[in-house]
Chains A and B, each alone.
Chain A
Amino acid sequence: MSSLPLAVPRRRRRSVRHTLDVRVSPYAYVAPFFLLFCAFGLFPLIYTAWVSLHDWTLLSDEHTFVGAKNFGTLLADGYFWNATFNTLSIGVLSTAPQLLLAIWLAHLLNRRLRFQTLFRVSLLLPNVTSVVAVVVIFSQLFGRDFGVINWVLSWFGAGSVDWAAGTASSHIALSVMIMWRWTGYNALIFLAAMQAVPRELYEAATLDGASNFTQLRRITIPMIRPTIIFVVIVSTIGAMQIIAEPLLFGASSGAGGGAASGGPDRQYQTLALFVYEQGFTKFDFGYASAASWLMFLAVVLVAGVNFLITRRVKGGLV
């Protein structure tokens, strides 16, 4: 079978196959992600931009091109800005205490403890609970007439708070739900980072008489700075996209209002909920698409600002 004249091409062929393998295979390995990303990330992003330039409703098959009209209307829409304010307010109210609490919890767990695994697992439990269950239960806790929280407050002589009705009170209620779900999760990430901090630093600090809190502030936080930046960015993006909590809170709190208006006064309608209201209850896809694009830009902006701030602040501590 094998004769000399054939041997050379075959060897060349093998080397071609080899180069092909070396050069092509890596792309093939990463391709599934990029294909899925194109289908479910990039394509919708671009298509949404296209839709946002049209008068596009689900109820009709005609889509007229209107240019930037949707964006113009949006910037003049008080409800859009109201939703932006609510998003930022709920975002700050939930993220800031959540991260402080998470660092503190991680710090507490970052030492030799009995039942260590038990504590760490239980941190994650609220996160694996379904968001629906969390919101339904918290809505009952925050109930006006028969809620546990108002009952506890009444021991201190406080009158009953209509949590869902007020702007500030509803933001607090929603922030508590968000914190409940995410504090433990973030604490675990911090904990993982903290365990990479060399023990000697703490031993040396202890010898120098540094208190527990000083050690946290002077050693731990500077050492886990990259993780803090990561968590801040991810939490910020998450906070900007809050939708399930206010949507379900509206449905289960009895405050009234349309399914997606976030209370009759839109007191807790977030940006994502605003987009949902326009797109999926009013079927105005053009307008909803424009709103999602502005929301996307807002997320990028806020995440960017946060990145700069976190880098600056922690940098000063080192």
Chain B
Amino acid sequence: MPPRIRRLAVPLLTASLIAMATAACGSGGGGGGGGASDTAAKPGEKIKLTVGLFGDFGFKPLYEEYKKTHPNIEIAEAVTQFNDHHNNLVKRLATNAGAADIEAVEVGYISTFTAQPTKFHDLKQFGLDKRQSDYLDWKWQQGLGKQGGQLLGLGTDVGGLAMCYRKDLFEKAGLPTDRTKVAALWPTWEQYIETGKKFATANVAGAKFVDSPGEIFRAMVNQAPTGLYDPQDNIIVGSNPAVKQAWDLSNQLTSEKLTAKLAAFSPPWNTGFAKGAFATIICPAWMTGYIQEQAKDASGKWDIATVPGGSGNSGGSHLMIPKQSKHPKEAAELIDFLTSKENQAKVFKEEGTFPSIPALYDDPSIQNFTKPFFGDAPIGKIYSEAAKALKPQHLGPKEAEVRVVIGDGLGRVEQGKQTPDEAWAQVLEDVKKIK
């Protein structure tokens, strides 16, 4: 061996030896993992199911109940923040590792995932298509694969709209506090803004009329027959007059100085609940649970009226089983249980998330359900009416991303960085970049 080659050969040899050694270790570990994955539910064996959620779905008491009838099942819940949850799910599907057996997907993201039917189990193979007759038709449709019509997700709740308001703040501002009279103040969004102006002139210390325009915008768009996407999945933000109208009205809230400038789901927003920093907030059914959580001391101060501008849906989720789940059959059984008629009714009474099963809407136990926290408001009745009147809207694959872009635009106006027109122009530019 000539010396030069030898000089090279020695380190190369060393490196490859070590590489082989590590590779051997690696494959050893992999072999072990392969063995473990081979678990086709033997009788009497413990099976651990993981459930990935964003926020509290109110499932915990249901798990306990389920375990009583299924002693071999263990359930572990992992809760992450809304955005992180969905972003992580995309990553975990792409890398084919790390996803839970059951993953919750919010309606803003549902089309992103139903466009990838190969990444999820078709729930039809576990017989869950029997549930179709239970569901609101549009909720059922949202869970179907974009190509092929596989059943990828089963609905949990729907977010029929209402408007929550603080009675004590309304009283201070000299506005009516009775929920029917309050509802009569704002059949339309224009009248809602007029009410806001009255509230503002009363100068209630430390309180604005509304938290921020973001969620109001979302609600207004959701009330329109078409929203951010047309049925062919084209983004129509620039050409849909309903979107522009919602934009203008939202910015009017800002220009009239009616907002507390508290972005939804931020810590200062949470503090705002506790401090009573805003008098009204758009209230999809799931929001009632959130308010109760954040404004613990404000029991009896909040009440619920109908929403301006007619019915609409905001939020709601589906449960899906990623292909990588090792126990799809058991997971499907658990989904069937968690979304059953009885259990959706139970979750509503605890957490406020409203069922997607129309047979419940006329059920006396729902119709007559009231909550002391909201001044004994008949929330069962309010949300049943809202859900019955719902007109479904087509949602596109990048729904959530488009919403962020528009939310940023509203934020720029709210922070006084741009005029509404400048912000709108930038929104349209940003929307174009969404692939």
Q: Which residues of A contact B (CB under 8 A)?
A: 23-24, 27-28, 31-32, 34-35, 57-59, 136, 139-140, 143-146, 162, 165, 251-259, 261, 263-265, 267, 280-284
Contact = CB atoms under 8 A, between A and B. Distances in A.
Given A58-B91, A145-B277, A265-B417, A256 B408 contact: yes
B215 to A, nearest CB: 11
B90 A255 contact: no
Contacts of A35: 15, 18-19, 22
A34 B87 CA distance: 33
Contacts, number: 113
A309 B316 CA distance: 57
Contacts of A283: 90, 94
From B412, B415, B434, name the one whose CB has the most chain A CB atoms within 10 angstroms. B415
A259 to B, nearest CB: 4
A27 B15 CA distance: 8
Contacts of A59: 90, 94, 112, 115-116
B205 interface: no
B414 interface: yes
Contacts of A282: 401, 434
B94 A255 contact: no
Contacts of B269: 254
Interface in B137-156: none
B116 A259 contact: no
Given A256-B212, A256-B266, A264-B409, A31 B94 contact: no
A83 to B, nearest CB: 15
Interface stretch (B6-14, B196-204, B320-328, B333-341): B6-14
B411 interface: yes
A58 B87 CA distance: 10
Interface string B18-34: 11001000000000000
B102 interface: no
A257 B408 contact: yes
Nearest to A39: B22
Given A58-B91, A264-B407, A31 B15 contact: yes
B10 A257 contact: no
A34 B212 CA distance: 52
Contacts of A284: 435
Contacts of A34: 15
Nearest to A264: B411
B431 interface: no
Report the 5 A-B pairs with minimum CB-CB distance, sorted nearest first: A264-B411, A256-B263, A254-B268, A254-B266, A258-B404
B432 to A, nearest CB: 12
A58 to B, nearest CB: 4
Contacts of A145: 268, 271, 277
B29 to A, nearest CB: 15
From A144, A254, A280, name the one whose CB has the most chain B CB atoms within 10 angstroms. A254
B108 interface: no
A57 B263 contact: no
A27 B10 contact: yes
B83 interface: yes
Interface string B391-426: 000000000010011011111101111100000000
Given A35-B19, A59-B112, A257-B407, 11 more contacts: A31-B14, A34-B15, A35-B18, A143-B268, A162-B415, A165-B417, A259-B84, A265-B418, A280-B87, A283-B90, A284-B435
A144 B418 CA distance: 20
Given A59-B112, A257-B408, A264-B407, A31 B18 contact: yes
A43 B401 CA distance: 31
Contacts of B434: 282
A27 B14 contact: yes
Interface string B237-281: 000000000000000000000000111001111010001010000
B52 to A, nearest CB: 17
From A59, A146, A256, name the one whose CB has the most chain B CB atoms within 10 angstroms. A256
Given A58-B90, A257-B407, A259-B83, A27 B415 contact: no
B271 A146 contact: yes
A257 B18 contact: no
Interface in B83-120: 83-84, 87, 90-91, 94, 112, 115-116
B214 interface: yes
A281 B91 CA distance: 10
B208 to A, nearest CB: 11
B407 A253 contact: no
Contacts of B401: 281-282
A262 to B, nearest CB: 10
A86 B271 CA distance: 29
Contact of B411 (A27, A140, A255): A255
A24 B267 contact: no
A28 B18 contact: yes
Given A139-B267, A252-B267, A258-B407, A265 B412 contact: yes
B417 to A, nearest CB: 5
30 contacts: A24-B13, A27-B10, A27-B15, A57-B435, A59-B94, A136-B267, A140-B267, A143-B268, A145-B271, A165-B417, A252-B266, A253-B266, A255-B415, A256-B266, A257-B404, A258-B407, A259-B83, A259-B87, A261-B404, A263-B411, A264-B410, A264-B412, A264-B414, A265-B411, A265-B415, A267-B417, A280-B87, A280-B91, A281-B83, A283-B90
A35 B19 CA distance: 8
A256 B414 contact: yes
A264 B415 contact: yes
Nearest to A140: B267
Nearest to A281: B87
Interface string B371-389: 0000000000000000000
